[in-house]
């Protein structure tokens, strides 16, 4: 139980060390992971049920060769594609936002370093160290968040495209 308290204290110290921009990065990464988790859960059950429902609806049609039937097929595929790709653009945006927030942290940290240098000169190394940590910690956190998101958003995008292609191939036009 003591390790939980130590972990919480270490996280709190890390957040203080990174400055106010690190909080924004943490919220961005948290929201990104919520969207990623939602997509992973969607791919597990609701997407499969939706695919089976579309497939069953298509197979129960008497006629599948007319222009009208072709348009209905395209509509079914389009709705499925929209459902599988929902939220992926938001994840990609959040991934791109992480390094930008890290850069903002770098700039604000360097501004505090320059303020210390302007007030006390370059001799106060201890005061400058706080600004340097505010400059480097958010940059690192933004890059780590972006890297973790890039991998998963790529996997999710590929999976969505593969599932749409599979559904498109399974809805035959014969009959």
Segment 51-106, tens digit of pLDDT: 999 999 999 988 888 999 999 999 999 999 999 999 999 999 999 999 999 999 99
Segment 91-145, tens digit of pLDDT: 999 999 999 999 999 998 888 888 877 887 766 777 777 778 788 889 999 999 9
Parse the chain into domains and list their residue ranges.
2-170
CA distance 156 to 160: 6
CA distance 69 to 51: 18
Spatial neighbors of 82 by CB under 8 A, at least 6 apart, are: none
Q: Is it the case that residue 1 has pLDDT exceeding 70?
A: yes
Nearest in space to 172 (alpha carbons), one of 82, 52, 73, 51: 73
CA distance 70 to 63: 10
C-beta of residue 85 within 8 angstroms of C-beta of residue 43: no
- Alpha helices of the chain — where are they, by DSSP H? 2-18, 20-44, 46-59, 67-85, 88-120, 125-170
C-beta of residue 159 within 8 angstroms of C-beta of residue 43: yes
> What is the pLDDT, as a whole number, of residue 122?
67
C-beta of residue 156 within 8 angstroms of C-beta of residue 36: yes
pTM of the model as a whole: 0.84
């Amino acid at each position: 139980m003591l390790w939980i308290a130590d972990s919480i204290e270490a996280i709190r110290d890390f957040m203080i060390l990174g400055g106010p921009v690190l909080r924004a990065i943490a919220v961005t990464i948290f929201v990104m992971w919520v969207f990623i988790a939602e997509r992973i859960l969607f791919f597990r059950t609701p997407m499969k049920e939706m695919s089976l429902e579309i497939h069953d609806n298509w197979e129960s049609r008497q006629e599948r060769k007319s222009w009208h039937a072709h348009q209905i097929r395209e509509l079914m595929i389009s709705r499925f594609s929209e459902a599988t790709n929902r939220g992926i653009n938001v994840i990609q945006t959040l991934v791109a936002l992480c390094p930008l927030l890290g850069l903002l942290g770098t700039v604000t940290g360097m501004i505090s370093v320059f303020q210390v240098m302007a007030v006390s000169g370059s001799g106060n190394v201890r005061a400058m160290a706080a600004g340097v940590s505010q400059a480097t910690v958010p940059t690192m956190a933004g890059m780590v968040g972006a890297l973790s998101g890039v991998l998963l958003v790529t996997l999710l995008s590929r999976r969505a495209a593969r599932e749409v292609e599979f559904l498109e191939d399974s809805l035959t036009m014969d009959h």
